[in-house]
Amino acid sequence: MKKSISYLPSVNQRDLHYLVESILTRVKQTEMIILFGSYARNKYVVYDEKYEFGKIQFYVSDYDILVVTSGISDGVAGKALDNIEVQYYNQAKDPDRQPPVQFINIDMKKLNKELTEGRYFYTQIKQEGVILYDGEKFKLPRRRKLNFEEIKQQAEEYYNEKFKRGNGFLRNTHYNYNDEDYVLASFMLHQACENYFYSIRLVYTQQNSKQHNLTKLLNSVKKYSNEFVKVFPQDTPEEKRLFELIKAAYVNGRYDPDFVVTKEDIDALVPKVELLRDITKRICEEKIREYGEMG
C-alpha cells in the first residue's frame, strides 16, 4: 500500500492529519489507519455544483477511513469515532464544502482473516489504500489460495446476502406500485437489478466493485449466460426507452421532480426484472453446486 498523501492538496492533508491525531488520542488501541476510496485512488471530487431538477445540487467526495484496532470492543471504538466525527464537522469553516468522513472500524484479527480468505471488500482496500498510520506491530497478510470448499462457502454467503436484498427491493416495487408511486417503484427495480448483478459477479469471481450503471453491470455478467439478452434486448426503440428509464431511475427516481414513470412502464419492467431474478438464481446455484463437486 501507498504511505504518502503528498499528492493531495494541503487542505486535504490537514484534514487527514487532524483525523489521525484525533483517532490516536481517543482510540489508544489503534494499530493502523488506512485511507481508501476516491481520495486513495486520487479520483475525488473537491466540490461539484450543478443546477439540476430545479435546484442547486452539490457533491463532495467522502474521506473513507478504515480504523484497525486490537483489544477494544467495536462498540467502544465506534462511539469514540462518532465523537471524532462530530468534532471534525464542528471545526469546519464551510460545512457544505467540507469532505464528509466515513469511518469503518475492524479488529486486527478479523481483518487478517478477511484478507487471508480474499474477502473482496478488504482486499480492495489493501490494493488501493494509503496507510495514514501504522503502529508496526502487525503486517497485513497475503491472500492464500482457497480450496473449492472455501470458495463454495464464500459464494453461498455472497449469494444469500445480495440475492435476498434484490428480492427485497423487488417486493418493495410491488408495494410502491400498489401505492401508485411509480417513480419510487422504478428506483426499487433499479436496486433489484443492481443486487442481482452483484450476486452473479460475487458468485463467479468473489470480487465486486461499487457500480450503479446498469449498462456496465449487464456487460460484466453477459459472459455467464446467453439468456441475459432476453432481459433487456434493446432491439426496438421501446425496449431502449425502457432500459434507459430503469437505468436513470437510480438518480432521477430520487431527485428529479419531473421524472415521469407510468403504470404501464412498471408493468413492462417488472417481468424483465423477474426474469433477471430467475436467471440469477439458476446460474448462481449451478455455479455453487459446481464448486461443491470440485471440492
Each residue's pLDDT tens digit, 164-208: 999 999 999 999 999 999 999 999 999 999 999 999 999 999 988
The arrangement of secondary structure in 148-294, i.e. its CATH architecture, is Up-down Bundle (1.20)
The cell numbers describing 22, all together, are 484525533
25 pLDDT higher than 90: yes
Predicted confidence band of residue 47 (pLDDT cuts 50, 70, 90): low
pLDDT at 91: 87
Chosen CATH of 10-134 out of 3.30.365.10, 3.40.190.10, 3.40.50.720, 3.30.460.10:
3.30.460.10
pLDDT at 141: 93
The Cα 207–Cα 146 span in angstroms is 14
The Cα 6–Cα 250 span in angstroms is 35
Domain(s) of CATH 1.20.120.330: residues in the chain: 148-294
Q: Is 199 helix (H, G, I), strand (E, B) or coil?
A: helix
56 pLDDT higher than 60: no
Predicted confidence band of residue 49 (pLDDT cuts 50, 70, 90): low
38 pLDDT higher than 90: yes
83 pLDDT higher than 90: yes
pLDDT at 280: 98
pLDDT at 48: 56
pLDDT at 187: 98
Pairwise pLDDT comparison (254 vs 277), residue with the higher score: 277
Domain(s) of CATH 3.30.460.10: residues in the chain: 10-134
Which H or E run includes 30? Answer: strand 30-36
Beta pairing, strands 101-107 & 55-59:
unpaired
Least reliable range by pLDDT among 61-65, 144-148, 242-246: 144-148
Mean pLDDT of 6-33: 97
pLDDT at 57: 60
Q: Which residues pair with 51 in a beta bridge?
A: 56
* Contact (CB, 8 A) for 19 and 84: yes
Q: CA 90, 93, 96, 99 torsion: positive or negative?
A: negative
Cα separations (Å) of 12 from 18, 82, 92, 219? 10, 20, 12, 36
- In the chain, the percentage of residues whose pLDDT exceeds 90 is 83
Spatial neighbors of 210 by CB under 8 A, at least 6 apart, are: none
**271 φ/ψ angles, rounded to the nearest 5 degrees:** -60, -30
pLDDT tens digit sequence for 258-283:
999 999 999 999 999 999 999 999 99
Average pLDDT, the chain: 93
135 pLDDT higher than 90: yes
pLDDT at 92: 82
